[in-house]
Amino acid sequence: MGFRLTPQDPSFFELFTASARQLVEGTSALTSLLGADTAERQAVLARMRDIESASDDVTHEVVRRVNGSFVTPFDRSDMHGLAVLLHQCVDLVGTAVDLLVLYRIDEVPPRVVKQVEHLGRMADVTAEAMPRLRTMKDLDGYWVEITRLENRVGKQNRKMLAELFDAKKPDVLTILKLKDVLAALAAAAAGIEQVALKVEAISVRES
């Protein structure tokens, strides 16, 4: 890691951790939709809106501090990029929440439930990793685990699609709805993996 002229601002690491915690909150909201009734789902949707708003605030604060700091913990473009990727993940999870509520999917298939569980674990692992950006140590297992989980989401996603189209009496409307939900879940998983890949790239450059 290169020589720093002035002390690093520890609040940057706290902000990245806070952003990842918003992702955890988002996947928690998504999980709470499973088996929820109509009234509960509207409450979850409102909660997700609050989470997205809080994520917006954290992202803007990172950008503001990056622009106003003479020295940053690592490259400015990397810091900006990581903040944006984390925020995009929250938005992608929010899209899945929106679709499940707006499409009124009352019975969530087991393979969709499994994908949501994997997303929750991905969010937890991401939040656990963010404080380690301070030292750039013990991060290898983080992106390996994220990639493993993303692959599991992808596998469940493809199997669910195959089952939908192989049904003897397919319900076209249900297929279309679930296809959109599956796409949202896959995008969220891919987004979280992009965060891990960004951290890996930063780690390589800063080592």
Residue 167's pLDDT is 79
Half-sphere exposure of 174 (CA within 13 A, CB side): 14
Residue 20 CA to residue 51 CA, distance in Å, equals 11
84 falls within a domain: yes
Evaluate whether residue 135 is within a structural domain. Answer: yes
User: pTM for the whole thing?
Assistant: 0.91
Cβ proximity of 18 and 58 under 8 Å: yes
Q: What is the pLDDT of residues 174-203, one digit of tens each?
A: 899 999 999 999 999 999 999 999 999 998
Q: How far apart are CA 168 and CA 178, in angstroms?
A: 17
Q: Is the residue at 71 inside a domain?
A: yes
- Per the domain annotation, does 4 fall within a domain? no
Burial class (CB in 10 A: 0-12, 13-18, 19+), 189: buried
Looking at the 3D structure of the chain, how many domains does it have? 1
Within a domain: 1: no
Classify residue 99: in a domain, yes or no: yes
- Whether the Cβ atoms of residue 185 and residue 119 lie closer than 8 Å to each other: yes
Q: Cα–Cα distance between 30 and 120 in angstroms, integer?
A: 9
Asked whether residue 76 is assigned to any structural domain, the reply reads: yes
pLDDT at 70: 67
Rg of the chain on CA atoms, in Å: 18
* Residue 114's CATH number: 1.20.58.220
Domain range for 194 is 11-206
In this predicted model, what pLDDT tens digit does every residue of 2-51 receive, in sequence order? 433 334 555 888 999 999 999 999 999 999 999 888 889 999 999 999 99
In a domain, 5, yes or no: no
